[in-house]
Structure formats: structure tokens, C-alpha cells
Structure 1
Amino acid sequence: MALTRNTSRAMQRQTDLATAVAQEKLLDTHVRHVLALVELVNGQVPFDAALDIYARILRLNPEQARNVGSRAFAELGRRGVLQGGDEVTLMEDDAADREDARRPGTDDGGRFEQVFSRVRRRIRGRVQDDLRHRINLAAARAEDDLFEQHVANALEFARSLSAEVPLHEAVDLYLEIMSVPEGVSDVVFNRALRHVADSELPPLESAEVAAQTAA
């Protein structure tokens, strides 16, 4: 569903507000996980490389990566983690890193190999398998939290538009505005409606209760 020229001004304002709130919550989720990753690989991977790893594995576009990186960097500064002499470069790849980015590989394994190749060059002689394992776990945790945030956002978005837009259309609109990838969007849609179903529909009988009732 897309908003049309006939959309009321009040509806457009409400949609813009709900979108802004959803984007901020997603940004907060990304920043929380970036900071966790930075702490996890501290001493092995510098901030800019950790941010690059996160951005590529989580498939952030350049604008998203800049926003997440800037907010994470500011938070580290606020916490006093970064000292005046610390050198941190946000999302600046060297020539070898740009070569990695041009290599094909669209599956999760290929994408991770592209990113991790730059880390190998920076931690020669270190134990790499443990680092790979921890980064994979951190990425999985981040993706799962982002999925749950999308579900929560979609429900809040639908509630804010409930006076004018049916639930399923509002969730569809959220997924369209936020450019949630196909496949993920289907699961978010079903999970969001399942939350509403659990609150509005009679509870499902368990198999044991149903069998006893039938008997």
C-alpha cells in the first residue's frame, strides 16, 4: 500500500511521525549492537573495521552505515572511551578493502569472507577462528533483535494509523516505507498479525485439551 494524493494532511503527518519514531528505534538498536561488537573485538579489530564488518554483514546502505557509525562514535566519546589522541576513521576503506567489496558473493558465507579478509590482514599471527565465531554470534544476535524491532515498530505504526488504515494495510505500508527486504517482510508481517491475533482471538486449545473434549 502506498499513500496517494488523496491522503489527508493529518494522515501524512501521522505517517511521517510514526516513520521517524520507527527509524530512531532501529538506529538505536543498530548502535547498541555496534557498540557491543566494538567491545567484543577490542584489541583485535579497530573501531572503523568493526563498524565496516557490522555494516556489511547487516547489509546497511552507505547512509545507514554513516548514521550508525556517527552515533556509535559519539556514544563512545560520551562514555570517555575515546581519548584525544585516538585515531578513528569512519567507513574509509583502503585499496585492498575496496577490492574485497568488488568480489562477488551474495550468500552469507561469501559476504562474511569478503569482510573477514580485511581483518585477517590486520591480525596476522592471532587466533582467527575464535574471532570469526564471536563475530558470527554477534551478527546473529543483532539480526534477531532487528527483526523483533521491526515487528514492534510495525505494530506501533499500525496503532498510530488505526483510525484511518486497517491493520494489514498499515503493516504493509510500514514494510514498504522501511524497505524491509522481501522474505523478511513476509515473516515480519505474519509475526505482527500473530501478536494481534493472540490478543484479539480466542486462545487455541492445546492438542491434549482438544483430544479430551473430543472424547
Structure 2
Amino acid sequence: MRWPPPISLRRLLFLFFVLVDALCSIPGTFSSRLVTLDTIDIFTTHEWFPSKPIVYFRCNGDNKIYLPDVKEANSIYTFKGQESWQPLTELPEKKCKRCGFYEEDTFKRDDVFDEWELCSSDFKDGKYTHFKEGQFNATFLCPNCTASAGDSGTHESASEVETKKTSVVVIIVVSVLASVILIIALFVGYKYWQKKRRERDQARFLKLFEEVDDIEDELGLGNEL
């Protein structure tokens, strides 16, 4: 039977760190505060001539996020959060971002629907609605954002959610460590089995020679040679 080449311990450790890095990069694993757009309804456009508006969202320091589906005013657009341009941004835990909705213009400065401070604490039960009279009404989702500090019941619920997320991370890390330990144990066991098999083969080989010598002695062939 042909056995696969043995895996070195260095390679096992490398695979372990790659797996941990992959887990850390999973969205939501460490409470990423990703904001997605749920619904939007623009009440007006800023173009002088009738045309489809080019609406985009942007926070300071971020890139423009264009909303290709928003093509006319007074229509409610609903999104799944899985669109190619989602999420809109990621919020810090204790700081806000200056964000806004804009309408792109070719010949003059882009028009502003509204600009405001978007904060993680604005979200209640992972949902936040921003209304600007005469401009738009939009709803945002952020499941990992904390609720308003003024609502003690909601705040406690957010703390429980954070505790559960921490527990999930601990379980994942422990599971990875257990898997690595199991792989190392199997590797050590395989090397031990290889060693024992070599010793057994060597012993069998020596025994075979001893039996041949005994047969030669019995037949008197050893003296003739």
C-alpha cells in the first residue's frame, strides 16, 4: 500500500494561521458594523431638464456608492442588502461618519440631497430611518450596530448580543485549535506507526537470514562454501 508523503509540523502551523486569518476576514465574525440600504424614496431631482438622476451615497473618506436602480422620483426602492454595490459603509463603534446622498451633475457641482452624522448609536434593533423634508426618506440596516444609549432596555439587549458574538468567536477558535491538535496527534501517530513498521520489517528480515543460516547449517552447505 502506498502512503501519501508526510506533512511537516511547519506546514500544519501554516495551515492553522491561514485558517484563523480566513475566519477573521469573515464579515460579522468580529462584529463588523456594515451599513446597508434597505429602502429609499427620493421626492425630487435637481436637474433642470427631465432626465434620469444619478444618485449616489458617500461618507467622508469613502468612495462613492452609486444607486443604479434609483431612476426616478416618488418611487420607493427596496433592496435585499446583497446588491453588488452594498454595503454602503462601515461604522466605527464610538465615532460617527459624515455621510450624505448626492445627485451627480456633469456641468456643475453635484447636488446635495442631505448630509448628516451617521452613528452606530442611531440604530435601534439594527434599523435606522433618515428623513429630509422635500428631499428623500431612506431606511438603513446595520444588525451589529448598537442601539441608542438612552434606551436602557435596548442597550442591555445589545450587550447580550455582543456577548453571544464573543462566545461564537471563542467557540470557533477553540474548534480550530482542537482540529489542529487532532491533526498533530494523527501526524505523530502516523510517524510512530511508520517507525514500528520499519522495526518490524527489519526484525523480520534479520529473522529470515537467521532461518536461512540454520537451513544451510543443517544441510552442511555453510562448510562447503
Same fold (TM over 0.5): no
Structure with more relative contact order (C-alpha pairs < 8 Å, separation 6 or more): 1
TM-score by length of 2: 0.28
Which of the two has higher C-alpha Rg? 2
